[in-house]
Amino acid sequence: MSTDTADAAPATPLQQWLAAWLVAMTDGDKCLRRAVAAELAERLPEREQDKADADAVLEKVHAAARGPERDAAALDEEIARNEGELAAWRALLDPSRPVGDRVEARRWVEEYENELAGLRERRDFVTAQLLPLRDAVTKAERDVEAAAASRHGAELNATPLLAYYGAGQKTSAYVALRFGLALKHALTDESDPEHGAAIEHMLDLCEASGFRTENFADRLSDDARAAARFWDQKYADANPPQPPPSGREVMEALHTEMTLAMVNKSLDASPSRIDDYRGPAPPKTMPDRSYMKVPRVKDYLG
């Protein structure tokens, strides 16, 4: 036994558990990489089917566009041929030409102009039919490219070494376990005993990464919407949905309502004390009060 080994202090329980934790973390990372790769491998047939479906759609839209494209090409050739004929006949309208040649040329110029107007109208109609088909072809080509890229990415990342890149980051195993599913639960559940510690840890992460919510305004809601959702949830928790009343409860409520209506009707039919008080008061007879009598002037005159 070497001197260094003999002199080394025995590991404390804390050091032993930390060493075991490091080994477990290494093994856990290997397992997670294999889980991500396995999940991607299971998705490969689905990606193959997506690529095949995209190819089939592209072939269909191409087939739908072939007919109008052939018609458009034929019309273009016909228009070009007639434009050449029209130019030749217009050349014969030169005043130096004989009158008979000019009359004949003028007739053919008019005929070819009418023919070209009809051809161009048909060409515009075919072009209008082609526009949505060409848009569909463009979209189908993009879908084929996206399906091929998705399949290639899944194939590339379906290995433990590259499991944490590209398509691997979209797997449920990566999302749930790579950055800790327990942390998300502790952050969202205020009753969780680790909620405070999770908040502190998240604040540390935000400070270390320089994270700012305004940099992700298109992905995070503002404070007003977050507060509205919070109070909506509080209101929903305080007012849980009530089960529908039973038939007996409905009949009892109707009976009570009818009874109250009858009582109110009877009260309206009979005069109330307030109504009597507000009505015209009957004439009052003043009592004879001798102490209020005083001698008048005519009493002295006799």
Is 44 in the same domain as 143? Answer: yes
Going by pLDDT thresholds of 50, 70 and 90, the confidence category of residue 36 is very high
More confident residue, 280 or 262: 262
The answer to whether residue 223 sits within a structural domain is no
The answer to whether residue 119 sits within a structural domain is yes
Residues 167-178 have pLDDT tens digits of: 888 888 888 888
Residues 135-154 have pLDDT tens digits of: 889 999 999 999 999 889 88
Is 112 in the same domain as 156? Answer: yes
Is 161 in the same domain as 33? Answer: yes
Instruction: Give the chain's mean pLDDT.
Output: 82
Q: Taking a C-beta distance cutoff of 8 angstroms, is the pair 92, 102 a contact?
A: yes
91: nearest Cα among 80, 104, 78, 72 = 104
The pLDDT assigned to 281 comes to 58
Indicate the range of 57-61, 258-262, 279-283 predicted with least confidence.
279-283
The answer to whether residue 79 sits within a structural domain is yes
The Cα 36–Cα 164 span in angstroms is 8
The answer to whether residue 8 sits within a structural domain is no
Instruction: Indicate whether 52 pLDDT > 90.
Output: yes
The pLDDT assigned to 268 comes to 60
Is 92 in the same domain as 200? Answer: no
The pLDDT assigned to 1 comes to 45
Residues 78-122 have pLDDT tens digits of: 999 999 999 988 888 888 888 888 888 899 989 989 999 999 999
The Cα 219–Cα 215 span in angstroms is 9
Is 68 in the same domain as 93? Answer: yes
The answer to whether residue 53 sits within a structural domain is yes
The answer to whether residue 29 sits within a structural domain is yes
Residue 221 neighbours by CB under 8 Å, 6+ apart: 229
Is 104 in the same domain as 193? Answer: no
Chain centroid, CA 121 distance in Å: 43
Is 87 in the same domain as 28? Answer: yes
Is 150 in the same domain as 17? Answer: yes
Is 62 in the same domain as 190? Answer: no
More confident residue, 33 or 276: 33
Q: Which one of 114, 143, 172 terminates a domain? A: 172
Segments forming the whole domain that contains residue 111: 13-172
Residue 186 neighbours by CB under 8 Å, 6+ apart: 192, 194, 195, 197, 198
The answer to whether residue 240 sits within a structural domain is no
The pLDDT assigned to 261 comes to 76
Going by pLDDT thresholds of 50, 70 and 90, the confidence category of residue 212 is confident
Is 51 in the same domain as 164? Answer: yes
Q: Which one of 172, 203, 229 terminates a domain? A: 172
Structural domain total, the chain: 2
The pLDDT assigned to 141 comes to 92
Is 58 in the same domain as 96? Answer: yes
Instruction: Indicate whether 164 pLDDT > 50.
Output: yes
The answer to whether residue 296 sits within a structural domain is no
The pLDDT assigned to 175 comes to 84
Is 32 in the same domain as 167? Answer: yes
Q: How far is CA 34 from CA 113, 161, 168, 278, 298, in A?
A: 74, 9, 11, 92, 131
